Amino acid sequence: MFRQGEPGDAAYVIETGLIEIYTEQGESRASIAHLGPNSILGEMALFGDADRAASAQALAPTQLLRLTADHLRERLEGAEPLTRHLLHVLVARCRELLERANAGPSPAGPAVQAPAAADLGSDRALAFGRLRAEQDIEQALADEQFQLHFQPILRFADQSVAGYEALIRWVKPDGSRVSPGDFIPVAEASELICRIGRWVVRVAVDSLLQLDQAQRQLQPGSPALFITVNLSARQLHDPELLPLLAAQAQRLQGRDCRLKIEVTESLMIGNVALMQAFIARCGELGLPVVLDDFGTGYCSLSYLHLFKVQTMKLDRSFVRGMAESPASEKVVRGIVAIAHDLGLDIVAEGIETEQQAAQAAAMGVDYAQGYHFGRPGPLAEAMAQLGQ
């Protein structure tokens, strides 16, 4: 099949037959293995471009499946950089061991060319960078470096605060800040997002209870406040999430203040059945679900009837576009009409100017969120605003 020292570009899976793997050194020949059906051989050719470390010959009529380096590359592209890098390290170690076994102790220096291709180097950088970032996040959780900030969501009708979106903040011990746009995607690649998500839910409910109490004293009789928390896809698979939500719903019972869960369109569309079950369970617990960032994904209005969400948040790209072109304004007007028809409340996100606020209000949007009305701030700030 192939000879030791030849360049290799494929591995083989034996479907039927028998293959011998052997090495040759001058006159001497050493049989390494006899492989039968379902064995794989030549796999090291899939990683890097080192030559075949041994020869292979069929000892019986044999049928093989061929697996090329390209096949593997395609599959590994979607894998974690760390997984890819570990594979390459393991293969290099195997080669080294094999060569040593063949040639005796090697001279100084690496016995095997380390995988030198540029993409392997960037894999390593990516893998180690991500590992470092994950460990930093883990440490940040242990050291309580995360905070929740709260951004007010106002009723257009009377400009009163209806509730808050809870947004996570990471403040490092040296005072520097890491944006959630940078660390949430890293956390989402592992279980860390589930731990972060559970922390967010607990702290959000603690905060809601404090805000609720303050509001009852300051503005007796005013409608109850809500807090929204953001959910990531992996959290749908967190077995601790629903029990935690149930326990938190219990804490909120007897009050009409609310915890709401924000999910994005892409999260819904990627997990239709799971999401429907999740929303149904949230409904039983009295926790409304909010469709976040509408307009950044597929804008599939047709999906809205599949998911029993209570609120739609129009992404700020819509809000910005609305002020810039009459056509966008018509699109938003249409979306607002359909969402209202379906019984949804609408929040316009990212309102930064008086003009945007006026436009959104004129369209019948129910709630507003954005720097024009208030930036995300710590709980103390939200409490102080309640008194104003």
Site string for Mg ion, 122-161 (x = CB under 5 A): ----------------------------------------
Q: Does 292 bind ligand C2E (CB under 6 A)?
A: yes
Note whether 167 binds ligand C2E by CB under 6 A. yes
Instruction: Round to whole Å and give the CA distance between 145 and 181.
Output: 16
Site for Mg ion contains 230 (CB under 5 A): yes
What does the per-residue mask of binding to ligand C2E show for 252-291, with x meaning CB under 6 A?
Answer: ----------x-----------------------------
Nearer to ligand C2E, 91 or 184 (CB): 184
Is residue 128 close enough to count as binding ligand C2E by CB under 6 A? no
179 binds, among ligand C2E, Mg ion, none (CB under 5 to 8 A by kind): ligand C2E
Burial class of residue 251, CB neighbours in 10 A (0-12, 13-18, 19+): middle
Alpha helices, H only, the chain: 69-77, 81-103, 118-142, 180-188, 192-218, 241-252, 265-270, 272-285, 316-324, 326-341, 354-362, 379-386
Question: What residues pair up with 30 in beta bridges, in sequence order?
Answer: 23
Q: Which two tokens stand for residue 175?
A: 């005072």
Between 129 and 180, whose beta carbon lies closer to ligand C2E?
A: 180
- Using the rule CB under 6 A, which residue among 151, 207, 311, 359 binds ligand C2E? 151
Apex 129 CA angle, 126 and 130, nearest 5? 85
Q: Which of 200, 257, 332, 344 binds ligand C2E (CB under 6 A)?
A: 200
Binds ligand C2E by CB under 6 A, chosen from 232, 248, 311, 359 = 232
CB-based contact 262:299 (threshold 8 Å): no
- Residue 226 to residue 237: CA distance in whole angstroms: 25
Q: How many residues bind ligand C2E (CB under 6 A)?
A: 21
- For 72, residues 6+ apart whose C-beta sits below 8 A from its C-beta are 46, 47
Q: Pick from 38, 179, 302, 388 the residue near ligand C2E by CB under 6 A.
A: 179
Element (H, E) at 56: strand 55-58
By CB under 6 A, which span of 109-117, 213-221, 332-340, 347-355 interacts with ligand C2E? Answer: 347-355
Chain residues that interact with Mg ion, rule: CB under 5 A = 230, 262, 292-293, 349
